[in-house]
Chains A and B, each alone.
Chain A
Amino acid sequence: MSVSFRGGIHPRYAKELASDAAIEHLPPPDRAIVHLSQHIGAPATAVVKKKQEVKKGDVVGEAAGFVSVPVHAPISGKVTDVGLYPHPFGSMQEAVVIESDGKDQWTDLPPKAQPDSLSGEEIKDRIRNAGIVGLGGAAFPTHVKLSPPPAKHIDTVLLNAAECEPYLTADDRLMREEPRRVVSGFQALQKVLGAANAVICIEENKPEAIGAIEKAVSKAKGVRVATLHVKYPQGGEKQLIDAVLSREVPTGGLPMDCGVVVQNVATCAAVDDAVRFGKPLISRVTTVTGEGVANPVNVVGRMGTPVQTFIDAAGGFQGTPGRVILGGPMMGGAIHKTDIPVIKSTGGVLVLTPEQLPSGDFESCIRCGRCVRACPIHLCPNEMGNYAEVEMWEELEGLDVNDCIECGCCAYSCPANRPLVQLFRYAKLWIRQNQARAKTAESKDEK
């Protein structure tokens, strides 16, 4: 029996484009632009200089604080520049450029180890030193998620294998081809957290993956597989917890507030590499798909490889590309040129054709209520959109706009084509600014 949450949408999944393509390895790039900001939190601080020789796996950026991770060299070679380069999120960010020496030589890695022989703290250290972040898209440092405050008891850890974003198949392929690696990494995380329950949550539309994972966990104790109804955003943390455990994450809270930690498939695979072999996170599986590329593929690419290399691996553009999106169609971000390097959170390169793009024109709300039915957080996007348009921020705060997870279900279901998510992001920004302003005014008064 499959489980789910209330709300959500059923977009065209289009997973068949890439789901049968076995994972291939891209050759290491000749030149890698390694961004120091590949995660949520403080960007790493560069520790290499121009003309310095680095080997694959050497630290090029040290973690700057607790909510931060180190960044490693994805190839061996010479550092040619440390400066500002275009970032997938649209801005210019500091990056380390490495020119390959063609040897692709590993640095001295920590000794190999079995997860059973390591303590929880040792595993956590290995994860932090390997620069592992949540690879589902948000890129939140994994070791932070593994360090709940002592007051919060974690009883369940979930493996988020829903992969509810349309088009993307990277996690699906990873589970089919390397289920043991995924499960082993997941069990290492369970050990760190000391959670009694571990659930692997997979959407029903991946029967091969379910089969492979079930086989892999048949010997493991305390790990079960839950099948989920196919619905977007089934892989949202809050929706997953609701569907599998019937628990609700409190407003403004984190999953750990209700005793749960959620981790992604690719993250678990990376954790396994780090724990067993001491390998840092320098590559990941990325789906290159969409109607705009010739042969959709799943490839393992190094961080810092330009997006164009990925598109070439999929046989190049088919016709005129309409839009190139890093991530899935629902929550991914469009990029404006293809020489931008990929970062740790790039799980998909999606190329859409011009015909698939929305016009961008929108009309007034017709109060049909489709967005209300679709909202997985049970907000009222219709009202919120209207208030945001006339900039009534206090009313929006009252409607809990800050709880919006920006999944895009409302905008997807809107017949008037309203850019609701963007309006809410706009509102959140204003509310944050107003709060900051009120705070400074308060501190002034106190003086």
Chain B
Amino acid sequence: MSLLVPILVLSGLGAAMGVGLAVAAKFLSVAEDPRVEALVDILPGANCGACGYPGCSGYAKGLVAGEDVTLCSPGGNATVKDIAAILGVEAVTVVEKVALVKCAGGRNVAPDRSLYVGPQTCRAAVLVGFGNKECRWGCIGLGDCAEVCEDDAVEFTADGLAYVVADACIACARCVKACPRDLIEMVPKDRKVHVLCSSHDPGKITKNVCQVGCIACKLCSRRDGKSFVIEDNNATVLYGEGSRDVPTAALICTPGAVWDANMYDQVTWLTDPEARVHLKEQQAEFKAAERAERAAKKKKAAEAKKAKEAAADKAEAEPAVGKPEKTEEAPDQEPEKGAE
């Protein structure tokens, strides 16, 4: 009996409060746009902040208030479509992006110049004499980018070079801000040809400090000025409209700063010395083929000229014919399918 009283009292209290809460929920409720909840459901829920809002629910509210629908980079095109469906606006296609570390200089090819002791972060390391790497633009490899990456998409080679695993990257771009050397760029996911060097030193200096650094020789930009541009001693791939994956770019880049994902996968390219040897062979082959082609063309042109001259000789009365047209640059070829 003595047990029954408190049980009854407490359950009575509980029931009364439950009724109170139910009533409050009914009459004191704040009307919220139902679309917000729907949007939160379809957003990826990574709360990465790439859109500029504190989290997915923040962006959902922003969307209802008329924010741009293409800001969610982890979601990509599918999310844009869903958002557009909920908001009743027209869906636009976005270019899905992925982070890329624009440096291929592990310690095997771009050595350290001194020993660094102290807090093990890149930002702290560059405070001591601008970093302990001989190249003052390259990846230090202490992992400030990996620290901020919540998807463990940043990995390191044995030689202390950071690279982003494209499949794991959700394109939140947090690593872009974390890198004290501004090496990371968001690039379109479907692009295959990249320049993995961010050095703005003159070629003479870059050559001395890194075996795979861009020396700004302009071979790539001369071949396709819409896809490559040389700015401040560094070749940059233009990813915008009108650009393309130049298939021969990797075959003409002397130091091997251009990485063609069609030829070598990322890990092979960054870690396997065999890949470089193989590329050198490919380059030599390509060069020889191009030279042969050019020679053939020249020969052809010379023959044509001769024939024309002969014709001109025959018809003396006629005025001399001008020089034959200048030999065109060899057109781009498909890369030799030798890559594994």
**Pick the contact of B130 from A89, A337, A389 — CB < 8 Å?**
A89
Chain A contact-residue range equals 20 to 34
Are B127 and A92 closer than 8 Å at their CB atoms? no
Chain B contact-residue range equals 10 to 19
Is B123 on the interface with A (CB-CB < 8 A)?
A: yes
Identify which of B113, B129, B136, B201 gathers the most chain A CB atoms within 10 Å of its CB.
Answer: B129
Is B54 on the interface with A (CB-CB < 8 A)?
A: no
Please report the C-alpha to C-alpha distance between residue A334 and residue B131 in the assembled complex, in whole angstroms. Answer: 12
Report chain B residues within 8 Å CB of A361. Answer: 117
Is A360 on the interface with B (CB-CB < 8 A)?
A: yes
Report chain A residues within 8 Å CB of B119. Answer: 389, 419, 422-423, 426
Please report the C-alpha to C-alpha distance between residue A336 and residue B136 in the assembled complex, in whole angstroms. Answer: 13
Are B130 and A429 closer than 8 Å at their CB atoms? no
Is A91 on the interface with B (CB-CB < 8 A)?
A: yes
Report chain B residues within 8 Å CB of A359. Answer: 117
From DSSP, what is the main secondary structure of chain A's interface residues? mixed
Cβ contacts A88-113/B at 8 Å (1 or 0 each): 01111000000000000000000000
Is A333 on the interface with B (CB-CB < 8 A)?
A: yes
Are A425 and B127 closer than 8 Å at their CB atoms? yes
From DSSP, what is the main secondary structure of chain B's interface residues? loop
Please report the C-alpha to C-alpha distance between residue A92 and residue B201 in the assembled complex, in whole angstroms. Answer: 9
Known: A84-B201, A389-B119. A426 touches B127 (CB 8 A): yes
Residues of chain B in range 202-218 having any CB-CB distance to chain A below 8 Å: 202, 205
Report chain A residues within 8 Å CB of B242. Answer: none
Is A83 on the interface with B (CB-CB < 8 A)?
A: yes
State the Cβ distance, A91 to closest chain B Cβ, in Å.
5
Report chain B residues within 8 Å CB of A83. Answer: 202
Is B17 on the interface with A (CB-CB < 8 A)?
A: no
Cβ contacts B195-231/A at 8 Å (1 or 0 each): 0000001100100000000000000000000000000
Residues of chain A in range 406-423 having any CB-CB distance to chain B below 8 Å: 419, 422-423
Are B128 and A422 closer than 8 Å at their CB atoms? yes
State the Cβ distance, B336 to closest chain A Cβ, in Å.
38
Report chain B residues within 8 Å CB of A89. Answer: 129-130
Please report the C-alpha to C-alpha distance between residue A389 and residue B120 in the assembled complex, in whole angstroms. Answer: 10
Are B113 and A336 closer than 8 Å at their CB atoms? yes
State the Cβ distance, B82 to closest chain A Cβ, in Å.
29
Report chain A residues within 8 Å CB of B307. Answer: none
Report chain B residues within 8 Å CB of A336. Answer: 113-114, 129, 132
Are B129 and A422 closer than 8 Å at their CB atoms? no
State the Cβ distance, B182 to closest chain A Cβ, in Å.
13
Report chain B residues within 8 Å CB of A419. Answer: 117-119
Please report the C-alpha to C-alpha distance between residue A426 and residue B113 in the assembled complex, in whole angstroms. Answer: 21
Report chain B residues within 8 Å CB of A389. Answer: 119
State the Cβ distance, A402 to closest chain B Cβ, in Å.
15
Known: A89-B129, A90-B128, A333-B129. 6 other contacts (CB 8 A): A90-B129, A92-B136, A336-B129, A337-B113, A422-B118, A430-B123
Instruction: Identify 12 residue pairs between A and B in the complex whose beta-carbon atoms are under 8 Å apart, listed by A's number.
Output: A84-B201, A89-B129, A90-B128, A90-B130, A91-B130, A333-B129, A336-B113, A337-B113, A360-B117, A423-B119, A426-B123, A426-B127
